[in-house]
Structure 1
């Protein structure tokens, strides 16, 4: 359905999976162009290395250059278009930075799916702008470090990933190295080295190229997260509109920039990506693997992004947020003037923050906050109410104005210290880029409005004599790609719509499969079958499936036995003694599960995908 139907071929780039086996099994990516199979191994220097063990046709992930398609003009040329609004980039001309790593990490989580569907860059949904995929356009985010501790006015050659941001901040704040785990899950002591990471688990590394001790040491860090902001669009505007974005331009001009910016998490979507930045870990390790995902143990679908508030509980216990690490290093805030005070402003990464808007933990007087909110309502463009209300964005612009009021209050309030760490989400660029497209005038106006808000923050910090001692980090959680909305595409839903039993949370697919064991008696007259849920519960047990229909046919298509499982998930069958087990096939079906075909010798009956897709 995903690759061999007309819709699947038109919409799907590739499908990735993990097959269990010795030494960690193997990972696969299947596309119409070909398939690749690779394995993961501990690297001598720490972390993992990846080895390709099989390619049929073309390796669909062979192109992994993180430097590709770095400008708007590059995208237009790749798409063969002079219109940014219809610059649809085919898989053959894009790249997939760190593809083997970014796919493999996802399957480390107990919340991982069976399949990850990567649509063609332009083939998902009904909005002109989208993200979530592995390709370089959706997977490139702006990244700038500006302030004490980093090079000033520099472009540095650094391969930056979202998980590298927090370790770099920790280094700049002079936080202590600890005996934590690296990307392979092994602690420093297990790897036989001194403490060498800053977090409980750390997939990222310090971006040494941005550092400069001669520019001083920051006293605090302010992360400006421009949600969904296209790096290419931001760069294009800075290079072609000399008077635009004065406040961002000022920060960028005094900062240091990796020229190809930052590669985000997979999926490159808000909740998993924000927490990848804030924990130094990919989503397969912090466990918020998608905005919505399936918990196999409880057979429950959860949606941290859907509920927005109170989602910190979904973050895994094996990771540590920047807020938690700052408190470990500098002491918890005591509720007055002691300790490190931290703030998460409308930010999905919130666990451990003293002020955490999305955990309903607001520090400060509410009436004063409302007054500050009213003072800057003039910044909100009437365009959003006039044009986007019909899309359901009733709060677009208003939300970021309320976040600005929080930021102002936190630095104006004299009853607590100035925040040591602020992680501030600006949602307007994402909302506008979705509804208009990333290169539309509406998206540009959203960035202009965001720049005004950033200017208010910078001016306030300057008035409080805090600007020069603050390190600013400008980044985003993902990129944004233009979509062909005429396709109205949604490849991940194809199996479900063709009748398969799945839990689908785009771009993830969880298969509802049966685990079947069969044993044939020595005399060949009977067989015993057990049918279980393939997924395990919280105790590691598999539910026994009662009432499963079993039908056995011989190698000439004749039905030779039928039965149903009892309450224990077991069934007995009378079978012809003259037929070998491999000459009989059993079809097992149960409500809510995919039909399974298995020979009575226990071997699986399934088409060879290499033959079906490639004739190999």
Structure 2
């Protein structure tokens, strides 16, 4: 078997136009330059990441920042998975600091922000942050053909007009609390182990006694393809079992209930547990009977709701389950899709090659087991799935249960929260609570063996108030009361002691400087570049230009096409593209336009070499191309313009 250091570098698992190929060198470099050096770019952008294909077909991953750049490759590791090897650094490696333990408490977070008198100004600069598992989390994203050409990581405090925000790679926005409570978990323990969001699903599978199968690991290769016996629990498993949290002597669970506190800050949760002994009694009770990770788990990148929920529910990163962002561009169909906006249709966007926990429970325990997805963006395979309009149980009783707890909704949400959807989250979570109670009270079906339940109020409030605001704490208090109702329902049914509870979130939350009204991903498009922007993702609209000088040197042929492949994997020709050819003195040599097949040709002066002639190619809706007739691109040299290195 090859050693990790001699194995070939591995690029995107499913190439489909993502990242930068040689036809995008000009526009990609220009976009990166704008993102870093314009006035707004300097104020807003932390770094820009991409995967780049060289002319020889090789791939490498890059992160560019004003303070420096890093380029790395990945290889198959002999024991499975990948190893990541840094091959170039200029200036400061912007991803050098990757400690998952950094800024794990409220005090550490405030100290990194300079201990502001007002928590609403707890802004943390890049030099005080870390980027856990940065190479893996960036690389995985570009495995999907849905991935962008560039992804922008804003400074932790520089996105939008809401006091709280998330999505970035930094540890504050990427840390989620994680607790396993009940049979199979250590009791009353705080564990210092490293963890990732994709570790949750395989850990649940291990606790439920699922068998190991010949499934795919993070490299996309099955156990047998990797030359080892079955070693994963799910058909696609990017994570590992968190053995550090488990204790088989505490029994095996009969069911699992994931309590997902959307957007809940890890440091805030610890703050409440440590300093407010009478607060959040129901969460406190579950944590006391279980195992809490001191440093939480690290989320998907981007650390955003729809990708992260499905990473938890499948054990696969978003670059493998394919919901790479709440909104993203499908190159093959030239279609901008929004699983979050089309939330009742999310399941169709999920890669069929991954397996949800709902599907895994049925595969192992049989189709007769009952599973539920409550207000949860991961839905495929669930019997009850409110975001797929599959509601199980008597509607009249559901309405009655909803009204029973309506008085517990804090009226401040209607008066104070900014967005219409946020004002209604109390109602939505209350309806989710009613669904949960009914599913365990209704005798028409067995008690659910797996429930994945999202509570959205913590996220809405942290966005509109800020993660450390009293309003965000009130949202956690309200959520805790709802969890109390669920615990009591399970106790009444005699199911509490045999249920494993998993408490986590989909992402962290960072304080924003709303005065900036920052939106760095929009900079290239705003500055006139042809792109589809779905923050933080940028999809460049580029021309594929192929030029050939005939063997006698008398003429040149051009083929101009859309650089994004269509559904057949072909590049559609671009008719009507103008091509202006000039000599080394900018004298006009030819001006031609492509025909319906994207073809054009011109004469070449006999005294000039192809490398001495420049072609400028323009077409409506695309970024221009500038290249010499020998095929070399004419573009910004980022190493020179950013760092003074040629």
Structures share a fold, TM > 0.5? yes
| CA deviation string 1:228-267 (max 9, x = no partner) | 0000111111111111000001111111012101100001
| 2:564 paired with 1:539 | no
Question: Following superposition of structure 1 onto structure 2, how do residues 310-329 of structure 1 map, counting pairs within 5 Å?
Answer: 310-329=345-364
CA RMSD of aligned residues (A): 1.0
- Is the 8 Å Cα contact of residues 268 and 477 (structure 1) preserved in structure 2? yes
**Structure 1 match to 2:335:** 300
Change (3 A) 1:24 1:561: closer
| 2:371 paired with 1:342 | yes
Classify the secondary structure of the residue corresponding to 1:100.
Answer: helix
**d(CA) in 1 for partners of 2:420 and 2:512?**
17
- Is the 8 Å Cα contact of residues 146 and 471 (structure 1) preserved in structure 2? yes
**Structure 1 match to 2:47:** 14
2:92 aligned to which of 58, 78, 84? 58
| 2:263 paired with 1:234 | no
| 2:594 paired with 1:594 | no
**d(CA) in 1 for partners of 2:522 and 2:588?**
34
1:39 aligned to which of 51, 55, 73? 73
**d(CA) in 1 for partners of 2:208 and 2:361?**
9
Change (3 A) 1:528 1:321: same
| 2:216 paired with 1:181 | yes
TM-score, reference length from structure 1? 0.98
| CA deviation string 1:8-54 (max 9, x = no partner) | 01100000000125686100000001000000000111110100000
| 2:105 paired with 1:76 | no
| 2:411 paired with 1:377 | no
**d(CA) in 1 for partners of 2:370 and 2:172?**
36
| CA deviation string 1:567-588 (max 9, x = no partner) | 0000011232211111111000
| 2:339 paired with 1:309 | no
**d(CA) in 2 for partners of 1:607 and 1:56?**
17
**d(CA) in 1 for partners of 2:419 and 2:538?**
30
**d(CA) in 1 for partners of 2:523 and 2:225?**
44
2:415 aligned to which of 376, 379, 386? 386
**Structure 2 match to 1:504:** 533
**d(CA) in 2 for partners of 1:393 and 1:133?**
22
Deviation at 1:503, TM superposition (A): 0.7
**Structure 2 match to 1:530:** 559
**Structure 1 match to 2:592:** 563
**Structure 1 match to 2:519:** 490
**Structure 1 match to 2:246:** 211
**Structure 1 match to 2:175:** 140
Change (3 A) 1:511 1:361: same
Classify the secondary structure of the residue corresponding to 1:243.
Answer: coil
Classify the secondary structure of the residue corresponding to 1:466.
Answer: coil
Deviation at 1:455, TM superposition (A): 0.3
Consecutive unaligned residues in structure 1, runs of 5 or more: 333-338
**d(CA) in 2 for partners of 1:393 and 1:277?**
23
Consecutive unaligned residues in structure 2, runs of 5 or more: 1-33
- Is the 8 Å Cα contact of residues 261 and 503 (structure 2) preserved in structure 1? yes
Deviation at 1:81, TM superposition (A): 2.5
**Structure 1 match to 2:485:** 456
**Structure 1 match to 2:546:** 517
**Structure 2 match to 1:436:** 465
Deviation at 1:392, TM superposition (A): 5.0
TM-score, reference length from structure 2? 0.93
Is the deviation greater in 220-229 or in 189-198?
189-198
Deviation at 1:522, TM superposition (A): 3.1
Deviation at 1:394, TM superposition (A): 4.1
**d(CA) in 2 for partners of 1:557 and 1:126?**
47
**Structure 2 match to 1:245:** 280
Deviation at 1:391, TM superposition (A): 5.1
- Is the 8 Å Cα contact of residues 523 and 577 (structure 1) preserved in structure 2? no
**Structure 1 match to 2:61:** 27
